[in-house]
Amino acid sequence: MQPVDFHLRSPLAARTLAALAHDFDRHGHRPSSAQWAALADLAQTLEQMAEGTADAKFFLSSLDPGVGKTQTLIKFIDTLLASPVHDHVGVLLCVSRLSEVERIAKDSGIPAEMLHVFTSDAEKNALGRATADDARVLITTQAMVESRLAAQPFARCALFSYRGQPRSVRVWDEAFLPGQPITLAVDDLAYVFRRLTMLSPGLRDDMKGIFDDVDKLPCGSVYVVPDFATHRGVSLNDALAASGAGAEDERAVLSSLWFISGKRVSIRRDGKFGGAMIDYRETLPADLAPMVILDASGRVRATYSDMEHERGLVHLHRAPKDYSPLTVHTWPRGGGKSAFAEDGDKLAAGIAKTIDTRPDEEWLVVCHKSRGRVGDVRANVLRMLGKANPDNVSFITWGNHAATNEYANVPNVILAGTLFYRGSYYEALKRLAANRPASRGAVTKDEMEKVQLGEHAHLILQALCRGAVRKSDRDKCHPANAYIIASVRSGIPAALPTIFPGCKVVAWSPVPRNLKGDAEAAYQFVEAWARKASPGAVLKFRDVQREVGIDRRTFTDTIRRGMPFREAIAELGVIEWGQGRYLTGYQLAGSVPFPVE
């Protein structure tokens, strides 16, 4: 399939696409016509920035991993640097991690005398030999851009200029937000209480009073934070100086506290963690646009939809990959940190047993970090392996799940749960993306759920695409197997066909049920009902009780509260339900695949 031809009206884009087609042919990569159109849209937008004709917008390219977003950027830069009529055009590349700096610098082949690298790492900085103002291309981290700009106009920041002028071609690689979400709960006060006491006993008392007030407020309240900074005459610089070289978390809490001093914030109850104050801080200036954002998760994250509708973000041509060669196996039970803390051995046994079904193939397991009660997931899985060769099993942790393409040939990926955040964090994300401070209204339950599910989808897409599924054959991914531990309540199993269009979703139940007697009879009845019911249907407790033939107390004590039974029905997508204060039945929360009989 040949790329779109822009003829002479877009010479940089045309030459970029021609070079891209040659490179793809050499590597056997054959995008579909729709994917070529999307790559052409990206190349043309980059050219418009170079020519100074692009609208002052943020442009999102959300092509799936492996289609060619980054390669298009690299070929465009190569074409731009070779064009003598564009020697006045500078490029700014903002990457998410230090490791990406070296990869992009080497993959792009930018001559060192044309490159300046601006990071906190001297070794990475040595990749470029040009000064900042003379370098055609400047590579830096997103954190560096945020800290140096601090929402001040981009045009005034000489650090990122080229020959005294703002760089015309600006690219943000991976996840983009216009600022930082702020959530502050009572737990956060523990980080800074001693510092506040050192600064001013009155300030400490003010802060304690604020958090005491917040902890009593209902979810959805709007609270005006007393202007303690002005009242006590203590600046943020004073607070940070008292912190000295304190932990990064401590300094972040102090910065957030001083930012909300005297402001309206929203309140959300985070369960056992109590009330949290919510706001957001803009860290990127409006004149950073035009800028291109390269993020595959832009297809699934609700935050991008919010930025499109409320902040004017422009979504470039879309062309989702066909994931029909992917089979996703779902084990519908909890996979968060608490699940591994409570039942880690069973989960590890299920993972090990699954790996043993293909003992000679390579596997990648994405798991939680070994902290506290979670335990060492890697060690537990390796200990329980039978036939499989441990050398064929690799592990990466959540948080590093998008940091490497080292496993792009691995056909089997297991997501041992996923990351879950407090509700206050999801609300803060929504408010930031939608530019909705507390003064502009509440965040609804439906909006919260969309943001939360979008974040789950983002994590899952990025994690699974560390493996062979990231590779493409025309518009299809390479054949692969994915295994995901996620409860139906999370919404993840039902969202999989959206995250991976065309994929096949099947049941995965590696650990046999351990039910006997009345519990087994109750399970059989619930399973038969769930096979025929529609999502949202309700089965009353009393109907199950009568079917088994036991009294209510026995049913409650020996069946309902029994962990084996609760886990078994959870794998059916069934959860306990009630309209008021009391639970009265079981609800089919979402459709899940049943094992083939």
Over the stretch 62-77, which tens digit does the pLDDT of each residue have?
999 989 999 999 999 9
| Averaged pLDDT, 227-251 | 82
Tell me if the bond preceding 290 is cis, omega within 30° of 0: yes
The predicted pLDDT at position 594 comes to 42
pLDDT at 240 over 90: no
> What are the residues whose beta carbons fall under 8 Å from the beta carbon of 341, sequence distance 6 or more?
372, 373, 374, 375
- Give the chain's count of helices (H) and strands (E): 21, 24
Range name among 70-74, 164-168, 251-255 with the lowest pLDDT average: 251-255
Split at pLDDT 50, 70, 90, the class of 596 is very low
Residue 302 or residue 514, greater confidence: 302
Query: Given pLDDT bands bounded at 50, 70 and 90, which one contains residue 28?
Result: confident
If one compares 311 and 494, the residue with the highest pLDDT of the two is: 311
Q: How far apart are CA 495 and CA 289, in angstroms?
A: 32
Element (H, E) at 360: none
Mean of pLDDT over the chain: 90
Res 147 pLDDT > 80: yes
Question: In this predicted structure, what is the pLDDT of residue 455?
Answer: 95
User: What's the rounded mean pLDDT across residues 272-294?
Assistant: 94
Contact between 83 and 12 under an 8 Å Cβ cutoff? The reply is yes
Per CATH, domain 517-588 is 1.10.10: yes
Q: Is the pLDDT of residue 334 over 50?
A: yes
* Distances from the Cα of 245 to the Cα of 33, 178, 201, angstroms: 54, 28, 22
Q: What tokens were used for 48? A: 């418009």
- Other residues' Cβ atoms within 10 Å of the Cβ of residue 392: 16
Q: How many residues does the chain have?
A: 597
Mean local confidence (pLDDT), 48-55? 97
pLDDT at 513 (0 to 100): 77
Return the HEC string of 249-295. HHHHHHHHHHHHCCCEEEEEECHHHCEEEEEEEECCCHHHCCEEEEC
**Residue 249, class by beta-carbon neighbours within 10 Å (0-12 exposed, 13-18 middle, 19+ buried)?**
exposed
Per mean pLDDT, which range of 89-98, 174-183, 248-257 is the poorest?
248-257
Task: Assign 8 a pLDDT band (cuts: 50, 70, 90).
Answer: very low
Write the CATH number of the domain with boundaries 7-177+285-315.
3.40.50
Closest by Cα among 103, 149, 99 to 119: 99
What integer pLDDT is reported at residue 301 of this predicted model?
96
CATH of range 326-507; options 1.10.490.10, 3.30.360.10, 3.40.50.300, 3.40.50.1820: 3.40.50.300
- pLDDT of 41 over the 80 cut: yes
Report phi then psi at 165, rounded to 5. -125, 150
Position with higher pLDDT, 534 vs 260: 260
- Nearest C-alpha neighbor of 180 from the set 94, 281, 301: 281
Kindly state the average pLDDT of the residues 283-291.
95
Question: What is the reported pLDDT for 5?
Answer: 56
Query: Per-residue b/e over 145-160, b at no fewer than 16 CB within 10 Å?
Result: bbeebeeeebeebeeb
CA distance 515 to 523: 8
